Structure 1
Amino acid sequence: MDYRIRYLPVSRQNLDDILKYFSGFYPGTLLRFVMDQRQCIDNLRTQPLMYSVYADFPVYRHIPVGDYIVFYVVNESNRTVEIHRILNGKQNVQSILDKDIV
């Protein structure tokens, strides 16, 4: 049985912001990012543990997608993968995730 993918509202906002940025400044990169990100997340339906635990915040697993990092949590009890954040790796990821964990 496959896992269900669930985007938390903040991760949807992250994705919307990324797509707006690419469409305004790098429209040629937009399609590539969307395809890469979608493929990685779709892989989680059948292999949710395929990506490693994020060392600084072991509550999360993470997927590198270009310059971005997708942070997610696997909930085994209801077979759901929750996408928590999609952040640019050049951001202060530590500070952002610190605020989320509080």
Structure 2
Amino acid sequence: MYKLQFLPVAKNDLQGIAVYIADELDAPETALRLTEKIVKSTERLSEFPYSCPVYTPIRPLKPEYRKLRVENYLVFYTVDENIKTITVMRIIYAKRDFEKLV
């Protein structure tokens, strides 16, 4: 089993998603359900870190990023075999120009 950690920017992404849906879209229950779904989906990665495809951007990334889709959001993460750790790098709305954000 792998350890799961979120970069501060990924935590901010998740919080921003929740605030936007709860406040701007006036849907607090939807915000809660979605954020819980994102967290649970990322937690499953600790058992199956290679279950999601490698993300191949225009410019190469080191370390290699993987991409998990949760509804309309993409969770970008890395796997470090040496320390058995998954790091969530970003959580981005799938319809955004995420190439610039990753």
Range of TM-score over shorter length: 0.7 to 0.9
* 1:34-89: CA deviation from partner (whole Å, max 9, x where unpaired): 23212211111111111111122562101111111000000000000000000001
CA-based RMSD:
1.4
TM-score (norm 1): 0.86
**Distance in 1 (alpha carbons) for counterparts of 2:22 and 2:76:** 23
Amino acid at match of 1:74: V
* Aligned length, in residue pairs: 96
**Ranges in structure 2 where 5+ consecutive residues have no aligned partner:** none
**Ranges in structure 1 where 5+ consecutive residues have no aligned partner:** 98-102
**Distance in 1 (alpha carbons) for counterparts of 2:90 and 2:36:** 18
The match for 1:100 is: none
The match for 2:22 is: 23
The match for 2:50 is: 49
